[in-house]
Structure formats: structure tokens, C-alpha cells
Amino acid sequence: MAGGISTALGAKSVRSGQKVNGATQESPWVRRLIIGTGLFYFALFLLLPLGSVFVEAFRKGLDVYLAALMDPDALSAIKLTLIVAVISVPLNLVFGVAAAWAITKFNFPGKRILITMIDLPFSVSPVIAGLIFVLVFGAQGWFGSWFLDNDVKIIFAIPGILLATIFVTFPFVARELIPLMEAQGKEEEEAAIVLGARGWQVFRFVTLPNILWGVIYGVVLCNARAMGEFGAVSVVSGHIRGETNSMPLHVEILYNEYNFAAAFAVASLLAILALLTLLIKTFVEWKAAKVNSELKEG
């Protein structure tokens, strides 16, 4: 009889799996309901919109798709978006590293406030981000008349787009690096200095290798937002075709002209950029987790 019981038990434990034990597990139908609900929500609100971008982009065939991308206005929008990203991302990278260094390696009064200030652009509506630059540099703004007299255009021109983009992408790198460098402490830097390393060497040989993945992570997110920003740029751009239209603005114009296939074609490029961003992000996370577990084992 005992034998019968133990085989029954053995069979049961195989069914119920190893990782989670009976004490902390929901019944199978609850589990299925939770997974089902979660995936339905995910599919309806996330997967469906993503899929629709690509389906709509190719609805009228590959020729229309390519033509939309080769259109001179589209090309100039792509160029503008790249220029903006190439300038704004490095600036915010330098800022992010400097801010993280000052905040995590030193103690000074007002540190908490500084961290909150750095986060500010995240809590400001993109439209307001655009508005503030109009208020500063617009025709009636603080410096507006001076710029007007000297024939320098900021608003409704590329500098305005740049400024608004830098503003909205301002916190990305710093925000990624501050917690990371905080967790790493400053012992290694101090050790390097005791061993005779100088300022730049400390950063180059000790700090940078430790934060490299965090830097990449921040840069990738910063870049995605810089290329995709719509609201803030829309306010300061002036929507001049072929001149101050970035890719997202070009999508809007095409869409409003009922040129849906072309709008979705340009949008699909941005969607691919987003997917690439997520891919790199996942890779970086995987890499960081691997490094972490190796450190723990070693």
C-alpha cells in the first residue's frame, strides 16, 4: 500500500513543477486567467498598434513604400532628425556623466534638490517644453528682439528644434548613471588615486569600464526620444517643409494630407528605430546581469 502512495506522490510532483511549491502557488485556472488577461491587455494596447504600423506601411505595396521614403521632403526630414540626434545626444551624454560624477562621488548641500531638478524635464509636458523656448526666443520673448535685429533665427528654425530636443532628452543619461554609480561607491576610484592615477586616468581606466553598459543604455534611450520627439518640436518648428520638419512632424503632415501609406512608411522607420532601441536595451540588460553574476561568483 505504501508503495502505491509513493508512486502517486511521485507522479504528482512531476506534474506540479519544481520551481514554485504548493504553498505559494495559485490554482491552475487562476494562473491561466492572470496570464490570459495580462497577454490580452498587452496584445490589444501594444502589439496591435505596433503591427498596424507595418501593415499600413506596406498596404499599397513596396513601390509606394520606397517612393515615400525617397521623397525629397522625407529625405530632408530624415536628415534633420539625424542632425538633431547627433548634436543633442552627445551633449546630454557629457552632461549626464558630469552630473553623475559630481553627485555620486562627492557630498554637498542641495544634492537631493539637484537630482529632482535634473528630473524636471520628465514631468513637464512636451508642449510646455516647446512653449518655454518660444517665450524665451520668440518674437515677443526675452531675447526675441535682439535676435530679430541681428537676423538670427532660433524659433521656427533648427536651433529651436535642437534646444527643445535637448530639453526633453535632458535627464536620460544622468538618470541611468546616478543610481548605478551610487551603488558602485567610490572605493575603486580612491584605490586608483592611492596607486597614483590622475583625474582623467581615474575616470578612463576605473570608472568608465564599470559604467559602460549604463552609459550605452542611457544613450540608446536618449537617442530614441531625440529622434522621436513630437510635441516639443512641433511647437518650435514652424513646420516648414524640407527645412524644419523632422521625421515625426513629416509623419503628421503626410497623415493630415490623407497620404496614409506615405505617413506609415516614414512611421515604420521610426518604429524600427524603437524596436532596435528595445533590442539594444535588452542586450545591455542581459550583459549587465551576466557581469553582475560573474562578479558575485568571482
Partner 1 sequence: MSIQVNSIYKSFGDFKALDNVSLEFPTGKLVALLGPSGCGKTTLLRIIAGLETADSGQVILDGQDASDRHVRERQVGFVFQHYALFKHMTVFENVAFGLRVKPRRERPSEAVIKKKVHDLLALVQLDWLADRFPSQLSGGQRQRIALARALAVEPKVLLLDEPFGALDAKVRKELRRWLRRLHDEIHVTSIFVTHDQEEALEVADEVVLMNQGKVEQVGTPDQVYDKPATPFVYSFLGSVNLFHGRVDGEVVHVGPHQLVHGGSTVADGSSVVAFARPHELTISKDPESLGVYAVIERVLTFGATSRIELIGLDINEEKTSQNYEVELTRLEVASLNVAEGDHVYLVPKKLSVFEHKGTAA
Partner 2 sequence: MSKPLFKRSVIPGFGVTLGFTLAYLGLIVLIPLSAVIWKTSDLTLLQFWQTISEPRVVASLKLSFGASLIAATVNAFFGLILAWALVRYSFPGKKIVDTLVDLPFALPTAVAGIALTAIYAKNGWLGQYLEPLGIKIAFTPIGIMIALIFIGLPFVVRTVQPVLEDLDKEIEEAAASLGANRAQTVFKVVLPIILPALLTGFALAFARAVGEYGSVIFIAGNLPMVSEIAPLMIITKLEQYDYSGATSIAVVMLFLSFILLLIVNSLQAWTAKRTGREV
Q: Write out the residues near partner 1 by the rule CB under 8 A.
A: 2, 5-7, 9-10, 12-13, 16, 18, 21-23
Type of residue numbered 298: G
- Short-list 80, 52, 57, CA closest to 250: 80
Cβ–Cβ under 8 Å, residues 88 and 169: yes
Based on CB atoms, which residue is closest to partner 1, 3 or 199? Answer: 3
Residues touching partner 2: how many (CB under 8 A)? Answer: 102
Query: Which of residues 66, 70, 75, 117 is near partner 2 by CB under 8 A?
Result: 117
What's the CA gap between 46 and 168, in Å, rounded?
23
CB of 292 to partner 1, least distance (A): 22
What's the CA gap between 253 and 239, in Å, rounded?
9
In sequence order, the 6+-apart residues with CB closer than 8 A to the CB of 263 are: 251, 252, 254, 255
CB of 8 to partner 1, least distance (A): 9
Based on CB atoms, which residue is closest to partner 2, 124 or 157? Answer: 124
Query: Which of residues 7, 9, 12, 39 is near partner 2 by CB under 8 A?
Result: 39
Out of partner 1, partner 2, none, which partner does residue 133 contact, by CB within 5 to 8 A per kind?
partner 2
Q: Where are the alpha helices (H) located in the chain, listed in sequence order? A: 2-16, 28-42, 48-57, 61-70, 72-105, 111-119, 126-137, 144-149, 158-169, 172-184, 187-194, 199-201, 208-228, 231-237, 247-256, 260-297
CB of 142 to partner 1, least distance (A): 50
Q: Which of residues 68-97 bind partner 2 (CB under 8 A)?
A: 91, 94-95
**Interaction of residue 288 with partner 2, rule CB under 8 A:** no
Q: Residue with C-alpha cell 534633420?
A: 80
**Interaction of residue 263 with partner 2, rule CB under 8 A:** yes
Q: Helix, strand, or coil here: 151? A: coil
Type of residue numbered 110: G
**Interaction of residue 156 with partner 2, rule CB under 8 A:** no
What's the CA gap between 42 and 234, in Å, rounded?
29
**Interaction of residue 191 with partner 2, rule CB under 8 A:** no
Type of residue numbered 16: S
Out of partner 2, partner 1, none, which partner does residue 6 contact, by CB within 5 to 8 A per kind?
partner 1
CB of 219 to partner 2, least distance (A): 13
Q: Which of residues 227-246 bind partner 2 (CB under 8 A)?
A: 227-231, 234-235
Based on CB atoms, which residue is closest to partner 1, 4 or 199? Answer: 4
Based on CB atoms, which residue is closest to partner 2, 86 or 98? Answer: 98
CB of 48 to partner 2, least distance (A): 6
